[in-house]
Amino acid sequence: MLPARIAEEILEESNKEKNNINDIIHTITITEYSNSKVEHISNTLQIETHLLVHSDIVIIQNKTAKEMADLIIIKVEDKDDYSWK
């Protein structure tokens, strides 16, 4: 083989290696970005779920308190409230 042809082949191999390395770097970058996005979405969902559960608890407690207050008012109006005795 001629030295020029050998140099061309070496250059081609070198370019292939560079492309492979660039592809690997690109893949790693995308993976890291995707993982951070997934983690962010996961954290956001956990926070939203936490808030939703606690807001449901507050609504239930508020409803229960109103129902208890209504029962107390009914008992007081009927003069059938044992706490007054």
- The mean per-residue pLDDT over the stretch 35-47 comes to 81
pLDDT of 82 > 70? The answer is no
Residue 75 CB neighbours (<10 A): 14
Residue 2 has pLDDT above 60, yes or no: yes
Distance CA 79, CA 38 (A): 61
Q: Which residue, among 41, 22, 19, 20, has the nearest Cα to 30 in the 3D structure?
A: 22
Q: What is the dihedral of CA 19, 21, 24, 26, to 10 degrees?
A: -70
Contact 72, 81 (CB under 8 A): yes
Tell me the mean pLDDT in the region 56-79.
77
For residues 20-35, average pLDDT: 78
Return d(Cα 61, Cα 4) in angstroms, integer.
Answer: 84
